[in-house]
Amino acid sequence: MPRTLYDKLWDLHEVIQREDGTYLLYIDRHLVHEVTSPQAFEGLRLSGRTTWRASSNKATPDHNIPTTDRELGIDGITDEVSRLQVTTLDDNCKEFGIEQFDITDQRQGIVHVVGPEQGITLPGMTIVCGDSHTSTHGALGALAMGIGTSEVEHVLATQCLVAIKQKNMKVEINGLPDKGVYAKDLTLGVIAKIGTAGATGFAIEYSGEAIKSMSIEERMTVCNMAIEAGARAGMVAFDDVTLNYVKGKPYSPSGTDWDKAVSQWKDLRSDESAHFDKVIEIDASELKPQISWGTSPEMVIDIDSTIPEPKSSSESRALDYMGLKTGMRPQDIKLDQIFIGSCTNSRLEDLRVAAEIIKGNKISKDLKRAIVVPGSGLVSKAAVKEGLDKIFIEAGFEWRAPGCSMCLGMNPDQLDEGDHCASTSNRNFEGRQGYKGRTHLVSPATAAAAALEGHFVDVREIVG
Amino acid sequence: MLGKLWGKNMNEYTIHSKKMIPLDRSNVDTDQIIPKQFLKSIKKTGFGPNLFDSWRYLDSGFPGQDNSSRKLNPEFILNNKKYEGSEILISKENFGCGSSREHAVWALQDYGIRCVIAESFADIFYNNCFKNGLLAIAVSRDSLKKLFLLSERVENIHIDLVNQVILDKNESVIVKFEIDTFRKSCILEGLDEIGLSLKYTENIKHYEISSKKLTPWIFE
Ligand code: SF4
């Protein structure tokens, strides 16, 4: 029977179907960070259990990590509660023999940037992490899912996940986007079309000409936000782009293992006539730069349109919260802060695109603050090597150390009450970036262009 | 499993309640259920006072604070005396979307909620509920309307988990709900899920042996 990519990845990892109908799915890699793991390790200790296969787990702290004073290491975390969480991860990794890229390690970074960058997450693998944006890793042709803390404990102890098979959804993006329209705009466009619960219960495979022509970094941006459409997993078939990305990464196989791996990975695509329970088609050539105006990632408009009439009580509430009115244009939204970072858009390519736009310019005087937070220490190093840090600093941006930062503001990087922020992150929920803060989700290019003007502009006019 | 929320004796597998908190919103995300600053805790308990923190209070809260002295938002439904002590929360579609934080479930339970009824739930949140013995019930829009109406009137309802029905005060069925067998037994029997999976140790080991041959790089 013809199978989808998801079916194949599932079949490769099925250990057993239990009497109650659920499956045990084998997990190849488990990524760990400081926020969702302490209670899981505590659970192991309380029940006298240990890890099933310690080497399958890799850890790095990211959510609480400050983006300044990093030379101080752990002492640079001024918030005691945050510090305890990070040192608890250190202790747990030591106790259970788990490899960690700690706060002082140059490889530290956002867990979803670090995994692919190191070759820890590879095609054909099952990957889980106590974080909903684990879907990111699906860009490599892997089955990657976010899990809760109880499941983190379960995976640590058994190397398996108790799972129920999801349905298959294909999101086919054909045509090529215009200049000024990026992977972030495509993924926001998909969510706007299907809604935040549109893919609940489905695993999404992204395909079509636009996806094929994307780099792995761009595919990661797309898969990252599968969860914002309700899907636990998003994925893209393996191809030469994947092969070239994975080759030579520190944890990638080499020698005969590499040849063996590649010959297997070539099958990581849906069969010609595989059945999908739902198919969504999108024409990338019709998409424009997107900006979110509300408090849910489906509340999105084209850059050249206006804030819509609210269609529900949630939309009215959102308008109210955002301090916006129907009919306003994106250009009318006065911005206070700019955030370029997060697991959606903090890789080298993202920083290059933004730097290209601000090069030789200054950010608007009306802004309180504009920050760039690279996704990992190695992204930062590579960007510095290309001189990107200088471009940002000269324009008036602050160049920070890697971590989640203002994507969710668990560290000191937060919006002030009422601030409007052009953000390259993935969630515009109320208070996400700071108490009563107002987030607008955009691509790095749109964020950079907005930084220069102090309000949104159509970036196609700059790069077009 | 957190606390002992469901009893060992049949008639404890039901909730009789006059009160359901009607949270009339869709897409209630886990960032709202428990805001990020409280995720810094390394424990599973103590989240209740900060459930829906930024909707519930008029200031921005922080961990370790004395919540009793904070100003409550009189307009937020949780602060309505009428619903005090309620064990049931009702809401709209896509409840629990967003972050995978299980702290959202711990916060609801710590507050005293044993059951959430909504039109639909986000996947990870739904999973997290049953891992902790929080009953999550998805019902149709029409049934939900009835429940919202009953909560307005503070009329008694009765949730019977064993028979999967919600009954009104006259014991007539408002809605019969679906729940898969495994999740139901997790709540009814309070299973140790890891212990259960470890019964398959031989199968897992067997899987690993063949996987190691096929994909040795995964095990390096
Ligand atoms: S960058 Fe944001 S979305 Fe990504 S893992 Fe960190 S907090 Fe979550």
* pLDDT one-digit tens code per residue, A118-152: 999 999 999 999 999 999 999 999 999 999 999 99
How many contiguous H segments (helices) and E segments (strands) does chain A have? 16, 19
- pLDDT of A405-434, one tens digit each? 999 999 999 999 999 999 999 999 999 999
Q: What distances in angstroms separate CA A378 from CA A346, B121, B216, one per listed residue?
A: 11, 38, 27
pLDDT band at B2 (very low <50, low <70, confident <90, very high): very low
Q: By percentage, how much of chain A surpasses pLDDT 90?
A: 99
Show the tokens assigned to A164.
């129920």
Find which of A13, A55, A81, A252 to mutate to test the B interface (most B CBs within 10 Å of its CB). A81
**What mean pLDDT value characterizes chain A?**
97
Nearest CB to B124 within list A132, A252, A314 = A132
Q: What is the mean pLDDT of residues A70-78?
A: 95
Q: Which residue of B has its CA nearest to A30?
A: B218
Give the confidence band of B5 by pLDDT, cuts at 50, 70, 90. low
Looking at the complex, report in whole angstroms how far the Cα of residue B18 sits from the nearest Cα belonging to chain A: 27
What integer pLDDT is reported at residue B188 of this predicted model? 83
pLDDT, position B189? 80
Question: Which superfamily, per CATH, for B15-189?
Answer: Aconitase, domain 4 (3.20.19.10)
pLDDT for the residue B6: 56
The residue of chain B nearest to residue A198, with distances taken between CA atoms, is B94
pLDDT surpasses 70 at B3:
no
Q: What residue ranges line ligand 1, CB within 6 angstroms? A: A 62-63, 110, 112, 131, 133, 342-343, 404, 407-408, 425-426
Contacts 24+ apart (CB under 8 A), B183-186: B183/B130, B185/A20, B186/B130, B186/B131, B186/B133
Which atom number of ligand 1 is nearest to the Cα of residue A33?
5
Per-residue tokens: A3: 């199978």
Give the Cα separation of A422 and A370 in Å (integer).
Answer: 9
Least CA distance to A149: which residue of chain B? B102
Q: Do A313 and B24 touch (CB under 8 A)?
A: yes
The encoded tokens of residue A94 equal 């030591």
In this complex, the residue of B27, B44, B98 whose CB is nearest that of residue A39 is B44
A–B CB contacts, 8 A cutoff, strictly below: 182
CA of residue A29 to ligand 1 center, whole Å? 19
User: What residues does each domain of chain B span?
Assistant: 15-189
Query: How far does A200 lie from chain B, in Å, by closest CA?
Result: 6
Searching chain B, which residue's CA lies closest to the CA of residue A123?
A: B218
| CB A134, CB A145: distance < 8 Å | yes
Which residues, in sequence order, are bridge partners of residue B160? B14, B165
**CA B40 – ligand 1 centroid, Å:** 15
Contact B54 A430 (CB under 8 A): yes
Q: Is B218 helix (H, G, I), strand (E, B) or coil?
A: helix
Per-residue pLDDT, B17 = 80
Residue with the nearest Cα to atom 6 of ligand 1?
Answer: A404
Closest CA to B215 of A247, A257, A121: A257
- A173-212 residue pLDDT tens: 999 999 999 999 999 999 999 999 999 999 999 999 999 9
Q: From chain A, pick out residues whose CB is under 8 angstroms from the CB of B205.
A: none
| Cα of B169 to nearest chain A Cα, Å | 31
Residue B120 is nearest to which of A132, A162, A197, comparing CB atoms? A197
pLDDT at B74: 97
Q: Do B40 and A36 touch (CB under 8 A)?
A: no
Alpha-carbon distance A57 to A100, whole Å? 9
* Ligand 1 pocket: which of A404, A411, A421, A425 to mutate (most atoms within 8 A of CB): A404
Find the mean pLDDT for residues A280-289: 98
pLDDT digits (tens, 9 = 90+) for A326-378: 999 999 999 999 999 999 999 999 999 999 999 999 999 999 999 999 999 99
- Ligand 1: distance of its center to the CA of A133 in Å? 7
Q: Which of B28, B56, B123 to mutate to test the interface with A (most CBs of A within 10 A)?
A: B123
Strands of A18-101, DSSP E: 23-26, 29-32, 57-59, 99-100
Complex-level ipTM: 0.95
d(CA A436, CA A433): 8
Using a pLDDT cut of 90, give the percent of chain B over it.
78
Q: Which residue has the tokens 């309307």?
A: B145
